[in-house]
Structure 1
Amino acid sequence: MKQLLVVFTGGTIGSRKQGAGIDVNLSGSYALIDEYSNSPQQRDDVTLHAIQPLNLLSENMTTNDWHVLAEAIHSIDLTLYDGLVITHGSDTLAYSAAMLSYLFADSSIPIVLTASNYPLADERSNGLRNFANTVDFIADAQLPGVFVVYEDDKGAPLVYLGTRITQAVSFTDQFGSPYGVPFGMMADRAFSWLEHERNPKPEALRPAPAAPFVWEPKTLRLDSSIVYIRPYPGLNYSYYDFTSQRPKAVLHDLHHSGTACAIENGPYSLLQFITRCKGLGIDVYICPIRDRSDALYSSSLRLIEAGAIVIEKLSVEAAVTKLMLAYGLYDDPAQAKAFVSESSLYYEHNEV
């Protein structure tokens, strides 16, 4: 009999409609186990246990909540379980999946996040199916590491590596992945790996790697002093006044071609903004760039020449969480930069 621990954190999958709105409900999370236990998807070879270290809608997630969740998982004797299921809200699931992937890259058992598009009582909800597919993935694949299981709009239960899932988009509520390549999918209650040049083979995940860095709950710091900026026409950098309160780093998103405004001067100049940040001792990172060795646009090269630090081959979700971890682990910016740019923690670089 396989023993699985369900770690409830709230989110839509643990919520109920309350009046005109939707909010987390103390009994909503455990109702998921009841629904699963009374459904045709239930497995006879699995016993479910449960804890609930958090109970919040995921849009309210902070680094402090990540610390609470990490401490709860760290305190578990993983030898007692064949896998962990983490139920989570969909709004920030991709960020939490990346952070947990870094912290538990050496997990000897599968740690799998899942979510729901609507509360379980709503007939449109995919929450029960996502939960059932997560249980099936753990029981069938038995792969160590951190994953996400979530059904797409065609009803395909996709499996993602924890650092290779991108935020769900508006209007369709669909998660994505760099290059559009998930790790695999569930079919007939069994895991099917997606063969692709950028996907590690399942056997490459066994055995679990050594921990890429050492941390303890009492000393772990996840630094929220990271500012994330997305480019758009007319982005005026003069509104970012860091003279009174300075972030440790800025992560600047890029257009799909790896570019952002590189005019020489003026309030819309990212070049001038980078120079201003450098003068204040603030590191500026740019991401995503698929491959720095490829030919880049002249505007991209000018950003790099101005002092922007390139994070290549990572999604923005994987990059911003890695920055939070790096600047929490290291007081020395040079060490933090090396950790972000040179280390590989858990398949965050979209290559084999």
Structure 2
Amino acid sequence: MIIIIYIWKGYPAGGYFLDDGMDACRRSSFSCIIDAKEDDRRRTIMTTIMTIFTGGTIGSRNTGGAIQVNDSGSYALIDKYTASPLKRDVRLETAQPLNILSENLVPGDWDKLIQAIGSLDFAQYAGIIVTHGSDTLAYTAAMLSFVFAHTPVPIILVASGNPLDDPRSNGLSNFAGAVDYILGGQPPGVFVIYRNDRGESVVYLGTRISQALPFTDQFDCPYGVPYGVMEDGVFKPDRHRLNPSPEELRAHAKQPMQSADGLQLGSDVLYIRPFPGIDYSHYHFSSHAPKAVLHDLYHSGTASVSGQARHSVLAFAEYCREQGVDLYLCPLKDGSGALYASSLKLIEAGVTFIERMSVEAALMKLIFAYSRFDSRAQVREYVLDETVFFEHIGP
């Protein structure tokens, strides 16, 4: 008999017992009579993984054409996993600090998730899996990368493009890939595993995954270089020159992990995306100003420096200075190379660029830094000069 047990956090205790002759698992109460010695022996030899549910499509059900989180939807993932041929000999513990659709996520929800992870005794687990909605997956992956940069075990985020009962769903495959990565003894760190529309189970570094694209619902990463893929349950790293090696990840994890106790993430960073004709006069900071603005750039590292002040980021930069608001521009691939005249004007004007970093990672790093540090100098040094979890890409 194979025993797969998981602990219900905040729910009635329950477990799964799989017999060789059974096609599906049977839920049973821990009040059932179990051979204590056999159970203890199983616990000592089985790897334990913590699964943290937060809601999202992977924890939702389609009811009457409306996809909504469901109280039992998240735990249905465990049902499907333990009844599938993808299951492994593993002990799963669970917790559910959140149960929301990820588009509704706010910084206070990150605080709850971070507290749930930070309160764990990492020595008791081979890894941690976080189920999440796909809409804000890239943001949470980056945030957890900065908070748990030196995690001694893999922290893997997984999502689903469709509810689990939908035959198009990749949620079970993504979860199984995360379990296989952990059981394979792969390097620690924060990752996302997501099976794309080509059937590839792609492994992304938490600071190097871009938001899913509209219409295709597919994720991407800077330069199109993911960290690797899962093939037949085995992790295959992409040893591209832009990627850290597994050895670098293991060395990184040996550094002390900072405590997240008392961390409260704020909403003090405003994100602006450029478009032709953007009118900066619509932004008024006199009554309620952010601590900082992250201004996105076109793919060539440019934004409008038009002579018309209300359409020029140069004039907006001056307005931010007058209001005491820090302004950062991102992404810029490499400021040491040849740049367009508009970018050079911005540099000459003293505007701060965040180089070699995705805008998702930059935004999360700024939010984390302004929540953690008191002085602008500390924020600037942390964001621009410190590489926390491989967010700086290239030389």
Question: Fold-level match, TM-score > 0.5?
Answer: yes
Deviation at 1:144, TM superposition (A): 0.9
Letter of the aligned partner of 2:149 in structure 1?
Answer: A
Q: Which moved more, 1:259-268 or 1:70-79?
A: 259-268
Quick check: 2:53–2:96 contact (8 Å CA) kept in 1?
A: yes
Letter of the aligned partner of 1:70 in structure 2?
Answer: I
Instruction: Work out whether 1:156 is the aligned partner of 2:208.
Output: no
Q: Distance in 2 between matches of 1:313 and 1:174?
A: 22
Cross-structure match for 2:118: 74
TM-score (norm 2): 0.86
Q: Distance in 2 between matches of 1:291 and 1:90?
A: 29
Task: Give CA deviations for 1:120-152 in whole Å, capped at 9, x if unaligned.
Answer: 001111111111111111111431111100011
Instruction: Work out whether 1:17 is the aligned partner of 2:99.
Output: no
Equivalent residue for 1:115, pick from 155, 159, 162: 159
Instruction: Work out whether 1:225 is the aligned partner of 2:225.
Output: no
The structure having more radius of gyration, on CA atoms, is 2
Task: Give CA deviations for 1:218-255 in whole Å, capped at 9, x if unaligned.
Answer: 2x132211110011101111111111100000000000
**How large is the RMSD of aligned CA atoms in angstroms?**
1.2
Cross-structure match for 1:29: 74
Quick check: 1:264–1:272 contact (8 Å CA) kept in 2?
A: no
Quick check: 1:105–1:209 contact (8 Å CA) kept in 2?
A: no
Cross-structure match for 2:22: none
Structure 1 stretches lacking a partner, 5+ long: none
Deviation at 1:90, TM superposition (A): 0.3
Quick check: 1:98–1:163 contact (8 Å CA) kept in 2?
A: yes
Deviation at 1:307, TM superposition (A): 2.7
Q: Distance in 1 between matches of 2:391 and 2:374?
A: 23
Q: Helix, strand or coil for the counterpart of 1:250?
A: strand
Instruction: Work out whether 1:351 is the aligned partner of 2:390.
Output: no
Runs of 4 or more consecutive aligned structure 1 residues displaced over 4 Å after TM superposition: none
Deviation at 1:329, TM superposition (A): 1.2
Letter of the aligned partner of 2:390 in structure 1?
Answer: Y
> In percent, how many aligned pairs have the same letter?
54
Instruction: Work out whether 1:106 is the aligned partner of 2:150.
Output: yes
Map of 1:178-189 to 2, 5 A cutoff? 178-189=222-233
Equivalent residue for 1:297, pick from 334, 340, 359: 340
Q: Helix, strand or coil for the counterpart of 1:235?
A: coil
Deviation at 1:265, TM superposition (A): 3.4
Deviation at 1:49, TM superposition (A): 1.1
Cross-structure match for 2:351: 308
- What is the aligned length? 349
Q: Helix, strand or coil for the counterpart of 2:184?
A: helix
Q: Helix, strand or coil for the counterpart of 2:304?
A: coil
Cross-structure match for 2:109: 65
Q: Distance in 1 between matches of 2:377 and 2:350?
A: 14
Cross-structure match for 1:276: 319
Cross-structure match for 2:86: 41
Q: Helix, strand or coil for the counterpart of 2:208?
A: coil
Deviation at 1:267, TM superposition (A): 1.1
Cross-structure match for 1:321: 364
Q: Helix, strand or coil for the counterpart of 1:206?
A: helix
Q: Distance in 2 between matches of 1:282 and 1:206?
A: 38
Quick check: 1:225–1:324 contact (8 Å CA) kept in 2?
A: yes
Deviation at 1:211, TM superposition (A): 4.3
Letter of the aligned partner of 1:295 in structure 2?
Answer: A
Cross-structure match for 1:83: 127
Quick check: 1:67–1:217 contact (8 Å CA) kept in 2?
A: no
Quick check: 2:108–2:264 contact (8 Å CA) kept in 1?
A: no
Q: Distance in 2 between matches of 1:95 and 1:328?
A: 16
Cross-structure match for 1:336: 379
Letter of the aligned partner of 2:79 in structure 1?
Answer: D
Quick check: 2:304–2:313 contact (8 Å CA) kept in 1?
A: yes
Quick check: 2:174–2:194 contact (8 Å CA) kept in 1?
A: yes
Q: Distance in 1 between matches of 2:350 and 2:319?
A: 11
Cross-structure match for 2:16: none
Q: Distance in 1 between matches of 2:261 and 2:64?
A: 38
Quick check: 2:118–2:259 contact (8 Å CA) kept in 1?
A: no
Instruction: Work out whether 1:197 is the aligned partner of 2:241.
Output: yes
Deviation at 1:302, TM superposition (A): 1.0
Map of 1:194-273 to 2, 5 A cutoff? 194-207=238-251, 208-211=253-256, 214-218=258-262, 220-273=263-316
Q: Distance in 2 between matches of 1:268 and 1:77?
A: 52
Letter of the aligned partner of 1:12 in structure 2?
Answer: T
Quick check: 2:147–2:260 contact (8 Å CA) kept in 1?
A: no
Cross-structure match for 2:96: 52
Quick check: 2:56–2:133 contact (8 Å CA) kept in 1?
A: yes
Q: Distance in 2 between matches of 1:133 and 1:86?
A: 13
